[in-house]
Amino acid sequence: MSNATLKELSANLAAGACSSVELSHEFINKINNLNKSLGCFITVDAERTLVQARAADARRAAGSAGPLTGVPLAHKDIFCADGWLTTCGSRMLSNFVAPYDAHVVQRCNDAGMVTLGKTNMDEFAMGSSNETSYFGPVRNPWNLETVPGGSSGGSAAAVAARLAPAATGTDTGGSIRQPAALTGICGLKPTYGLVSRYGMIAFASSLDQAGPMARTAEDLGLLLNVMAGHDPRDSTSLERPAEDYNRDLARPVAGLRIGLPKEFFATGLTPDVQRAVEAAITEYKKLGATLVDISLPNMELSVPVYYVLAPAEASSNLSRFDGVRYGHRAAEYTDLMDMYKRSRAEGFGAEVKRRILIGTYVLSHGYYDAYYIHAQKLRRLIAQDFTKAFKQCDVIMGPTSPTTAFRLGEKSADPVQMYLSDIYTIAVNLAGLPGMSIPCGFDGSSLPVGLQIIGNYFDEARMLNVAHQYQLVTDWHQRTPPGVK
C-alpha cells in the first residue's frame, strides 16, 4: 500500500480496504527501517501519529470523512506543528517545541490527514542540497552518494523512497521544484499569496511560498486543495474564492501554446537534461500543443538579484532568534550583547551566517541604494519579462535544474556554484508566479530529470491539467528508485 498514490489511498480508505491506523503503521515501519540510511526525517512520533490515525478512522466511521481523511503525509520541519519539535533544520531551534499549528498544518489536520513526522531540510531553508541541515544531510534514494536537492530535500526523498505518499514543502528560490526534480517526484510552488505563511518559519517573506510534493500531478492538486485558502493571520494571504485545482485535469492539451525561453536552453545546461526536456516537449507536440520561441532577457540576473533580496529579508527575519524567549542560548556570556552574539554564533550554521552577513551588508548605510534598491528595480524587469511572455503563450516550459543530482560535497566549497543550481527557478519566485516540476526522464547515470512548467498568476489548475495529460501518456512518474517498493 505504501506505493499507492494519494488518490488510491483515498479510494482504499473510502472502500474500507484499509484503515488509517493500518496505513500509518505501514509507513512508520518503513520510516523506522530506512530513515537511518536516508536521513529524511528529523522527528517521528508514532504515538502522536496513531492518535491522529485513530481519530481519522473514527471520523470515517461517523460518516464525516473528506477525500483525504486518514491519509498520511509528512511536513517539512519549517512548519510549526503544535507539540512537535520544529527545528527548521537548525541548532538554533533544536529544542523548539512549537506551541501552535501553522495554517498549512491546521488545514491538513482539519481535513483529517495524519502527520507521519517532520522532514529534514537545509537550515532555515537556505540551501540547494540539504547539506546545511544541523541534523545531517539527506541522501537521494536514487543514489545514496548524491544529494536530494534542497531545501525541501527530506520531503522530496521521503516521497521518492515511499516513506510518505506526499509531503509539504516550501519554495523561496526553487526549494520545492529543484528537490522534486532531483528525486523524480512532482512538486508545485503556487502563486505567491495562495497558501498562508502563518506558522511557516520565515526566510524571505516576499518570496516564501508553501506547496505540495507528491508522486503525480493529480495528487498535487488534491493536496493543494487542502493547503490553499485565505488566512487573515498572514497579511499577504489572498482573499479568493475556493477552487478545485483538479477541475481541468481531463482537458486535452491540443492547442496549448508552450513558451520555450531561449535562456533556458543556453550554456550551463547539461546535455542529458536538455535531451530529456526536449523529448518531453516533443511529447506535448504530439499531443497537439504548439511551441512558441520566447525570451526572458533579464533571467540571468535573477540569481544575483535573489542573492541581494533574499539575504536582506532573511537578515531581518532571523534577527528574532536572540536566545531570549525560545531557541538556543549560549551557556556562557559576559553581558547581554555577548549573549546575543554567542547564542547566534553557536545557533546558526555557516550558510545561514553567510546569508545574514550578506543581507546585513546590503541593507547597511551607504550600500542600500546600490544593492537593495537596485535589486528591487531589476526584480520588476524580471517580472515584466514574464508578463510579456504570457501574451504569447499559455505556459512556459524548460528544465527545473541545469543538472541532475550531484554528489554530496561536490558544491560545498564554492557557494556561487551551489546558488547557480537554482538558475531556472529563482525568477519565478521573484515574479510571484506558480511553477512546478514533474519527472520527464533520466540521465546516463539513471538519475531523474525534472521538467519545469511555469504558469501565469493563479493558473495552477491549468498547469496541473498540462502535467496530468503528460502523465497519462508517459510513465516517468511511476518509476521507483532501486530497491524501493
Partner 1 sequence: MALTLDDVRRAAHLARIAVDDAEAAGALAQLTLVFGLIEQMQAVDVSDIAPMSHAQDLVQRLREDKVIEGNQRAQFQKIAPEVEGGLYLVPKVIE
Q: Which stretch binds partner 1 (CB under 8 A): 39-47, 63-71, 426-434, 474-482?
A: 426-434
Residues in CB range of 47: below 8 A, 6 or more apart: none
Q: Which residues contact 436 (CB under 8 A, 6 or more apart)?
A: 177, 180, 186, 187, 188, 189, 217, 220, 452, 453, 455, 463, 464, 467
Distance CA(148)–CA(166), nearest Å, equals 16
Residue 162 contacts partner 1 per CB under 8 A: no
Rounded CA-CA distance 16/86 in Å is 34
Span near partner 1 by CB under 8 A; candidates 2-10, 108-116, 242-250, 302-310:
302-310
- Scanning 115-123, 276-284, 362-370, 397-405 for contacts with partner 1 by CB under 8 A, the matching segment is 362-370
The answer to whether residue 210 forms part of the interface with partner 1 (CB under 8 A) is no
Q: Is 342 in the site for partner 1 (CB under 8 A)?
A: yes
Interaction between residue 397 and partner 1 (CB under 8 A): no
**Residue from 3, 33, 37, 235 that binds partner 1 (CB under 8 A)?**
235
Nearest to 80 by CA among 53, 60, 98: 98
Rounded least distance, CB 330 to partner 1, Å: 9
91 lies in the binding site for partner 1 (CB under 8 A): no
340 near partner 1 (CB under 8 A): yes
Interface with partner 1 includes 127 (CB under 8 A)? no
Q: What secondary structure letter does DSSP report for 334?
A: S
79 is a site residue for partner 1 (CB under 8 A): no
- Interatomic CA distance for residues 65 and 74, integer angstroms: 20
305 near partner 1 (CB under 8 A): yes
Cα Rg for the chain, rounded, in angstroms?
21
Among 10, 146, 298, 400, binds partner 1 (CB under 8 A): 298
Say which amino acid occupies 377.
Answer: K
Q: How far is the CB of 43 from partner 1 (least distance, A)?
A: 15
Examine residue 94 and tell whether it contacts partner 1 (CB under 8 A). Answer: no
| Residue 229 interacts with partner 1 (CB under 8 A): yes or no | no
What part of residues 185-204 is at the interface with partner 1 (CB under 8 A)?
192-193
Q: Residue holding cell 485565505?
A: 230
Stretch that binds partner 1, among 4-12, 40-48, 228-236, 403-411 (CB under 8 A): 228-236
Q: What distance in Å separates the CA atoms of residue 82 and residue 50, rounded to the nearest whole number?
A: 16
Whole-angstrom Cα distance, residue 463 to residue 442? 22
Residues 457, 477: Cα–Cα separation, whole Å: 26
Residue 36 sits in the site that holds partner 1 (CB under 8 A):
no
Indicate which single residue of 250, 357, 472, 473 sits in contact with partner 1 (rule: CB under 8 A).
357
Q: Rule CB under 8 A: say whether 386 interacts with partner 1.
A: no
The CA distance from 136 to 77, in Å, is 14
Least separation, in Å, of the C-beta of 485 and partner 1?
A: 40
266 belongs to the binding site for partner 1 (CB under 8 A): no
Catalytically active residues are 76, 151, 175
Rule CB under 8 A: is residue 77 a binding residue for partner 1?
no
By CB under 8 A, tell whether 364 contacts partner 1.
Answer: yes
Sign of CA dihedral 419, 422, 425, 427: positive
Q: Residue 17 interacts with partner 1 (CB under 8 A)?
A: no
Told to check if 456 binds partner 1 by CB under 8 A, we report: no
Q: Give the separation between CA 146 and CA 183, rounded to whole angstroms.
A: 10
Kindly report whether the peptide bond that precedes residue 437 is cis, defined as omega within 30 degrees of 0: no
DSSP label of 368: H
Question: Least distance in Å: CB of 27 to partner 1?
Answer: 28
Q: Is 127 left (phi over 0), alpha (psi -120 to 50) or beta?
A: left
* Residues near 288 by beta carbon (within 8 Å), at least 6 away in sequence: 252, 253, 254, 255, 256
DSSP bridge partners of 188 = 436
Q: Name the 3-class secondary structure at 55.
A: helix
Instruction: Name the site residues for partner 1 (rule: CB under 8 A).
Output: 95-97, 99, 192-193, 206, 232, 235-236, 238, 298, 300-301, 303-305, 307-308, 315, 319, 322-327, 329, 333-342, 344-345, 348, 353-354, 356-358, 360-362, 364, 370-371, 373-381, 383, 414-416, 419, 430-433
